[in-house]
Structure 1
């Protein structure tokens, strides 16, 4: 089937599903494959549950005239998404970076939706499947689409750019994330810069943090760049006012008091201000959007529980974000400061070195208590309390509960699921 024909069917049934547990009536089911499943085998179930059509790539599963047989289901999904994006009126703003992508995406969407009809990546569905699904959520009246792009190896952002064909883009930062796939900090810079490479090659506009030397160097001769800075008056001036615990920033004469903790969230807010200004959103509306944004999903949340004030930042972790969280925690005012730090994943051969650096950093801070959790932290050379498993930590806390009125930081990679600590406090 030609993509143009499939697109006509999509316009009649403008909802796509890839999971039979989430089938919506009259959707199109795409039978994707994974290491441990074959979506083709679920096509009949999808139709029975209310899907209008099922796109499959194995002929033996074509049990109905509502099954559309294609050569490769994933590639068809991706081609359909690009076709739909090209035939929409929406402008696409792409976003990538090592840290802060999802928060920045949410802030940008909150700001732009004050004036425009927008759509944005749901959650962190930012890979070779998530980006197409986001593009296919563009409506006929969508004006701006904010598309988050994630990557853990070279050429991935380049591929996602060719799918989404962005008109604008922003890289949050170049931190030590996914070192296992990128190989080095230089590899990370090359990989994330593929967004800027695409935009400059197609004469599109880029947004930058002009206080980031890497971004300035990468784009020093490019004209269509728009940046914010707290130092360089050639760019839109935005300054950090305070971050104890919530970020306050100043743009022009307006102070914006966010509900985001940590100075590391300053640039995330500043990017949303800059992009809002570029698209002529009133500064009063920008202020309202940022001040009313509340983080969720274990991202920099502040939780009060049993007399403790807990900073829950357990959605993910890498050496850069871990250091930023600890530096910020060290500067915060509070009593009985206690940190629960979990292993950082996807660091490849640098894992031992990077975990030791964090352990050394923690030893230099004046925290009351620190608990290191996971196999990687267990292997560090430090006198800090270490627990190879979460269960061992649980047993320890049963016998040695935290002192009342503690200020607590919880930080670790997603696989550590450290939000479980809330049940122990």
Structure 2
């Protein structure tokens, strides 16, 4: 049996549990000392399995991943030189003498090892999240909620700051490589895990969800992110719904009530569990929704969104065992989309047993991560950095946030990627939508910038208000000139920057600030 490092709380990998974890890929040891007087269990003691030789430390196990443009087997010797005590490979390297676990496929072995690690953590509450937008924000909201729970339980300021009890997906480690990487970071002290599951193709979420075995599976929305890769929203919905397949009968499916795929997602979820929570808010009176049978189990009423925060009443509908609860929330984030994100986070937390009072405390303390509507002053002006990524839904949400600000409202956009044949039309529709949102200036850069501007001008924006640029340098020159002209008129501006990750729109912010 494997043991735990009692000082660090880390899991210990040994010869026997690695074989057990990789049975499905025919794991078999080579160069493992054959001594009948000693237990193989004690020949390898490692707390880390590393796929990147640059991160190898003495005592680690190296896993040789094979990708489209690289082969980790070329680095086995380098890993051993840096102190790796064993390697997991699909072909044995006889130039090194450390034990090597040979498997049929090292990438699949990575997933199997991660799934095995998850199974050893039977008390862990796992929330898996997917959706076309909002995943990072919901993760941070849940992190904040669990920090509030931990703080109340321990009254330990250090724990409160670091959130030791919760593992949360870092960055975009949400694919068939990133998810196992996160699972291998599980420690004995973790009580909760919030794991993001992304997809670039049909079947990917099914694979990672089966690895994660979530207690709660949540879909935030069905948008148009990666539209070109899936060929339509129907396929996106089908792929996202794979997250429900790994639920046990006791698990909970969280479904977006306001999404136009809500009924379809609900029907899929019902195939795996009867525990379903819908979240949403609509500008109807609760009584009207209740009469129509459309009142979600977790919903918002009395919603107001301002330039810096949102306020609403968070409602949990009555169940057979609980009474209805309604509590006011002050969310330090702007935008209606963040109200929806908060409802999703609340539903997930509620599903793992967090009481409403702790949920609203955590939501009140949540902070934006870098590139997610972060704010900074630029002289008399304000910059809103929402450059982390973009899709059509999040672009519209960002425009709503900007429209709620003060001063001259300037929206600076890069292209939305991965829209395939729908790209031109999606950008044109985006421009038309923006034109109706009380935004003063729209500046766009990139291949599809002319389409966005054409849509905006067709819906009423003038050539001076909406302009397209081929390069960031050209856009920056115009932006500086506009800001200077508004300053001469003693008008302050609020500038919001956004674009897909590939457009690196944050460099425009850096150039603008650097020129000041």
Calculate the TM-score normalised by the size of structure 2.
0.75
The correspondence for 2:352, drawn from 269, 279, 284, is 279
In terms of Rg, which structure is larger? 2
Cα distance change, pair 257–49 in 1 and its aligned pair in 2 (3 A): farther
Q: CA deviation at 1:23?
A: 3.2
Deviation at 1:25, TM superposition (A): 4.5
Contact 1:176 1:320 in 2 (8 A): yes
With 341-350 and 33-42 compared, the bigger mean Cα shift is at 33-42
1:242 and 2:289 matched: no
| Mapping 1:188-203, distance limit 5 Å | 188-199=236-247
1:13 maps to 2:46? yes
2:369 match: secondary structure: coil
The answer to whether the aligner puts 1:106 opposite 2:140 as a matched pair is: yes
Alpha-carbon distance between aligned partners in 1 of 2:125 and 2:353, rounded to the nearest angstrom: 15
Tell me: CA distance 1:306–1:54, structure 2 relative to 1, closer, same or farther (3 Å). Answer: farther
Instruction: State whether residues 413 and 445 of structure 2, in contact with CA within 8 Å, keep that contact through their aligned partners in structure 1.
Output: yes
Give the number of equivalent residue pairs: 423
- Tell me how far apart the structure 1 counterparts of residues 251 and 357 of structure 2 sit (CA, whole Å): 28
What's the offset of the Cα at 1:341? 0.8
In structure 2, list runs of 5 or more residues that go unmatched.
1-14, 22-40, 151-164, 315-324, 458-462
Looking at structure 2, the residues matched to 149 and 9 of structure 1 have their Cα atoms a distance apart, in angstroms, of 35
Of 377, 386, 393, the residue aligned with 1:320 is: 393
Distance 1:320 1:11 in 2: 50
| Distance in 1 between residues matched to 2:43 and 2:206, nearest whole Å | 26
Equivalent residues of 2:312, 2:329 under 8 A apart: yes
3-state SS in 2 of match to 1:195: helix
2:279 equivalent among 211, 228, 235: 228
Q: What's 1:64 paired with?
A: 97
In structure 2, relative to structure 1, the CA distance for the partners of 1:52 and 1:351 (3 Å cut) is same
Deviations 1:324-363 (A, max 9, x none): 2223322x03111100011000001111111111222233
The separation in 1 between residues aligned to 2:505 and 2:69, in whole angstroms, is: 26
Instruction: Determine which of 373, 376, 381 is the counterpart of 1:308.
Output: 381
CA distance in 1, matches of 2:145, 2:477: 45
Q: CA deviation at 1:6?
A: 6.8
1:96-121 per-residue CA deviation (whole Å, 9 max, x = no partner) reads 11101121122123313444633221
* 8 Å CA contact retained: 2:373, 2:384: yes
Matches within 5 A, 1:102-141: 102-115=136-149, 117-141=165-189
Query: Are 2:367 and 1:294 aligned?
Result: yes
Q: Aligned residue for 1:82?
A: 115
CA RMSD of aligned residues (A): 2.7
CA contact (8 A) 2:44 2:85 kept: no
> Does the Cα contact within 8 Å between 1:412 and 1:418 map onto a contact in 2?
yes
User: Closer, same or farther in 2 for the Cα pair 1:88/1:258, shift >3 Å?
Assistant: same
**Could you say which residue in structure 1 is the equivalent of 2:87?**
54
Contact 1:3 1:76 in 2 (8 A): no
Q: 2:228 aligns with which of 180, 187, 190?
A: 180
Paired residue secondary structure (1:420): helix
Normalising to structure 1: TM-score of the pair?
0.90
Counterpart of 2:28 in structure 1 is none
Give CA-to-partner distance per residue, 1:123-182, whole Å, 9 cap, x none. 221000111112222223433322110012222111212222222211000111100111
